[in-house]
């Protein structure tokens, strides 16, 4: 995710940052517990982890405005991706806790004050929340980095500010949501009421914990709904901190309930709950399908899904090659490659292919990988061992299927989940690395000859989330933007994610749109009210 010229901001902040630590090092205090399986791979170049400059103050479930333990008393460990060490044990919700959270949200919806409050008051609470986010920007960023392995500068300078911006955007909507009057063929007064939908269940992933939290709660709260939100078991910390700030800003108890927990237990309990009126999900396509099924089998709650992708990034023969190389690199490697919209199929025109591959390789070899708390770092570790192993498997499959490994290909260091920026050329459409969502720092470069061919190949996937188009020819740009079956097309840019820009997928990349005014409709019911008119002056 990126916004506000995020790409520019990020490269500026990285080039101005010193390569030294932003914070102090942990020495031997934090010992690696990671499996030794890969220990004889590349030399250990990742130094001892820098001590995270923040402490974990919120580890419980947030239900009805209070931090409480799980009914079972169970906890789950959240790990530091730099080492695999435990950061904290957080309360682990299961079905009973979801029942408690849904009951609190139901009460806050049915009895108020939230939906009954003037929209202006809701707006003011959200605006105060944004001010508090700004005040606690660096703490939130540090928690996010510690729990997810993202570069601290990316969190502090881009993601938390984007989150704050998004809260202000939806605060702005709160008092502008209303229905219409509509004409009828007979003497009737017809009005539409835009009502909050009720208790909303929201399930978010680990790749952008704070941004996904905000994409979900922003529009839901602006519309007057109440919420039960489940974070990913891999990254529960930042949303708890942020939710505490939202209560400090004046959010009434029960309006936002936040639980940590696992998908098949807590997540499934939300998706199949009979008293949850709507569910919104971001994550894998398989889990999205399971959620749709649970919604259908329970109370037929409407579902929005933001799922996986295998987005084409198309470099035409007239593109500025240096710019294309840099953007393609960003499109794939940003956030350790853990982006649903990553430009993971880099299609390059045959006339510029060789030059592009050489430069893409050189750029990947220059990418700075290391402790995400260190200044100037572009890439931290992958989120966990499972994702690490999945990515390593795809790299192996790329080599075995005959793609040319230009750069990377193995892990970095011998602890944590660091992977060297990896580039494959001579990738063919039927290779697994060209078909599956890898969700890691692995760039696949494919060759194409003409527009018709690249359109057909770009669309030949079950996914349809996003695409990048690099050309200086406006006609080529128009041809491609209309032909590509995807929810977002970035022309001569990538990952522009401003608050008002809708985001979502075609095909198996999802249903519905998030952000912008489009996401409001996910959280509203439209009620038509029809009243007879007596001797109306006009119709």
Q: Which residues are catalytic?
A: 306
Interface residue with ligand NAI, options 101, 125, 246, 268 (CB under 6 A): 268
What is the DSSP-derived secondary structure letter of residue 159?
I
Please say which residue, 379 or 414, places its beta carbon nearer to ligand NAI. Answer: 379
- Report which of 502, 498, 497 is spatially closest to residue 517, judged by C-alpha positions: 502
Output the CA torsion sign for 160, 161, 162, 163: positive
Tokens of 453: 């061919």
- Does position 88 interact with ligand NAI (CB under 6 A)? The reply is no
Q: Please state the closest distance from residue 403 (CB atom) to ligand NAI, in A.
A: 20
Q: Which does 147 bind (CB under 5 to 8 A by kind): ligand NAI, Mg ion, none?
A: Mg ion
Q: Total number of residues binding ligand NAI (CB under 6 A)?
A: 28
- Does position 215 interact with ligand NAI (CB under 6 A)? The reply is no
Please say which residue, 254 or 380, places its beta carbon nearer to Mg ion. Answer: 380
Helices (H) and strands (E) counted in the chain, each on its own, are 16, 20
Binders of Mg ion among residues 229 to 248 (CB under 5 A) are 234
Interface residue with ligand NAI, options 49, 283, 370, 512 (CB under 6 A): 283
Interface residue with ligand NAI, options 5, 113, 118, 264 (CB under 6 A): 264
Q: Treating both helix axes as pointing N-terminal to C-terminal, what angle do 451-459 and 474-483 enclose, rounded to 10 degrees?
A: 30
- Report which of 447, 448, 501, 451 is spatially closest to residue 477, judged by C-alpha positions: 451
Q: Are 114 and 108 in contact (CB under 8 A)?
A: yes
- Does position 382 interact with Mg ion (CB under 5 A)? The reply is no
Q: Which does 171 bind (CB under 5 to 8 A by kind): Mg ion, ligand NAI, none?
A: none
- Which class for 449: exposed (0-12), middle (13-18), buried (19 or more C-beta within 10 A)? exposed
- Does position 442 interact with ligand NAI (CB under 6 A)? The reply is no
Q: First CA to last CA across the chain, in angstroms?
A: 48
Give Cβ neighbours of residue 537 (< 8 Å, ≥ 6 apart). none
- CA–CA gap between residue 125 and residue 132 (Å, rounded): 11
- CA–CA gap between residue 90 and residue 230 (Å, rounded): 13
- Does position 147 interact with Mg ion (CB under 5 A)? The reply is yes
Please say which residue, 34 or 269, places its beta carbon nearer to ligand NAI. Answer: 269
- Piece of 92-100, 226-234, 306-314, 465-473 that binds Mg ion (CB under 5 A): 226-234
Please say which residue, 204 or 327, places its beta carbon nearer to ligand NAI. Answer: 204
- Does position 518 interact with ligand NAI (CB under 6 A)? The reply is no
Interface residue with ligand NAI, options 203, 217, 228, 328 (CB under 6 A): 203
Interface residue with ligand NAI, options 98, 303, 307, 357 (CB under 6 A): 307
Which residue stretches of 175-320 are H helix?
209-222, 237-248, 268-271, 285-297
Tokens of 286: 């398989």
Binders of Mg ion among residues 27 to 56 (CB under 5 A) are none
- C-alpha distances in Å from residue 166, one per residue of 3, 123, 213, 281: 11, 13, 11, 18
Q: Please state the closest distance from residue 299 (CB atom) to Mg ion, in A.
A: 33
Q: Total number of residues binding Mg ion (CB under 5 A)?
A: 4
Q: Which does 284 bind (CB under 5 to 8 A by kind): ligand NAI, Mg ion, none?
A: ligand NAI
Q: Please state the closest distance from residue 268 (CB atom) to ligand NAI, in A.
A: 4
Q: Coil, helix or strand for 13?
A: helix
Interface residue with ligand NAI, options 232, 336, 461, 476 (CB under 6 A): 232
What is the DSSP-derived secondary structure letter of residue 267?
I
Interface residue with ligand NAI, options 82, 100, 106, 230 (CB under 6 A): 230
- Piece of 126-134, 183-191, 202-210, 426-434 that binds ligand NAI (CB under 6 A): 202-210
Give Cβ neighbours of residue 222 (< 8 Å, ≥ 6 apart). 122, 123, 126, 170, 171, 173, 174, 177, 520, 523
- Does position 236 interact with ligand NAI (CB under 6 A)? The reply is no
- Report which of 411, 419, 421, 423 is spatially closest to residue 40, judged by C-alpha positions: 411
Specify the DSSP element, H or E, that contains 425: strand 422-425
Binders of Mg ion among residues 54 to 93 (CB under 5 A) are 78-79
Q: Please state the closest distance from residue 536 (CB atom) to ligand NAI, in A.
A: 51
Please say which residue, 132 or 266, places its beta carbon nearer to ligand NAI. Answer: 266
- Which class for 297: exposed (0-12), middle (13-18), buried (19 or more C-beta within 10 A)? exposed
Binders of ligand NAI among residues 346 to 405 (CB under 6 A) are 387, 390
Q: Which does 78 bind (CB under 5 to 8 A by kind): ligand NAI, Mg ion, none?
A: Mg ion
Binding positions for Mg ion, rule: CB under 5 A: 78-79, 147, 234
Binding positions for ligand NAI, rule: CB under 6 A: 203-207, 230, 232-233, 262-264, 267-268, 271, 282-284, 287, 290-291, 306-308, 340, 387, 390, 437, 439
């Amino acid at each position: 995710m990126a916004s506000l010229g995020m790409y520019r901001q990020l490269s500026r902040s990285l080039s101005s940052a010193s390569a030294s630590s932003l914070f102090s090092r942990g020495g031997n205090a934090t010992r690696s517990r990671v499996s030794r399986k890969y220990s004889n791979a590349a030399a250990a170049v990742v130094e001892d982890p820098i001590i995270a400059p923040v402490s974990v103050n919120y580890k419980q479930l947030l239900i009805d405005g209070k931090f409480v333990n799980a009914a079972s008393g169970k906890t789950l460990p959240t790990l530091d991706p730099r080492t695999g060490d435990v950061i904290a044990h957080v309360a682990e919700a299961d079905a009973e806790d979801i029942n408690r959270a849904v009951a609190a949200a139901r009460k806050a919806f049915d009895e108020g004050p939230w939906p009954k409050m003037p929209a202006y008051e809701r707006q003011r609470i959200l605006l105060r929340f944004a001010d508090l986010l700004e005040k606690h920007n660096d703490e939130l960023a540090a928690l996010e980095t510690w729990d997810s392995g993202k570069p601290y500068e990316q969190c502090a300078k881009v993601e938390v500010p984007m989150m704050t911006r998004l809260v202000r955007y939806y605060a702005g909507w709160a008092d502008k949501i209303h229905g219409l009057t509509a004409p009828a063929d007979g003497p009737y007064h017809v009005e539409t009421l835009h009502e909050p939908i009720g208790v909303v269940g929201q399930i978010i992933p680990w790749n952008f914990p704070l941004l996904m939290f905000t994409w979900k709660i922003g529009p839901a709260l602006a519309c007057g709904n109440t919420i039960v939100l489940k974070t990913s078991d891999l990254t529960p910390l930042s949303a708890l901190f942020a939710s505490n700030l939202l209560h400090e800003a004046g959010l009434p108890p029960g309006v936002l309930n936040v639980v940590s927990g696992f998908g098949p237990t807590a997540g499934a309990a939300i998706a199949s709950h009979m008293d949850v009126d709507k569910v919104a999900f971001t994550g894998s396509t398989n889990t999205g399908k399971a959620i749709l099924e649970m919604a259908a089998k329970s109370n037929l709650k409407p579902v929005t899904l933001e799922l996986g992708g295998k987005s084409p990034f198309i470099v035409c023969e007239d593109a500025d090659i240096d710019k294309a190389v840099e953007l393609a690199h960003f499109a794939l490697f940003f956030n350790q490659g853990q982006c649903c919209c990553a430009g993971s199929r880099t299609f390059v025109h045959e006339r510029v292919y060789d030059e592009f591959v050489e430069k893409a390789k050189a750029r990947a070899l220059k990418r700075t990988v290391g402790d995400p708390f260190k200044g100037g770092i572009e890439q931290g570790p992958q989120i966990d061992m499972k994702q690490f192993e999945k990515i390593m498997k795809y790299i192996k499959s790329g080599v075995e299927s005959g793609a040319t490994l230009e750069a990377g290909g193995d892990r970095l260091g011998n602890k944590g989940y660091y992977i060297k920026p990896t580039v494959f050329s001579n990738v063919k459409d039927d290779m697994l690395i060209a078909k599956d969502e890898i969700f890691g720092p692995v760039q696949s470069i494919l060759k194409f000859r003409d527009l018709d061919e690249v359109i057909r190949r770009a669309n030949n996937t079950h996914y349809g989330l996003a695409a990048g188009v690099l050309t200086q020819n406006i006609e080529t740009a128009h041809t491609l933007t209309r032909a590509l079956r995807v929810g977002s097309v970035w022309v001569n840019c990538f990952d522009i994610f401003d608050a008002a820009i809708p985001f979502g997928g075609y095909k198996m990349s999802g249903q519905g749109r998030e952000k912008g005014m489009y996401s409001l409709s996910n959280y509203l019911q439209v009620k038509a009210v029809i009243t007879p008119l007596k001797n109306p002056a006009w119709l």
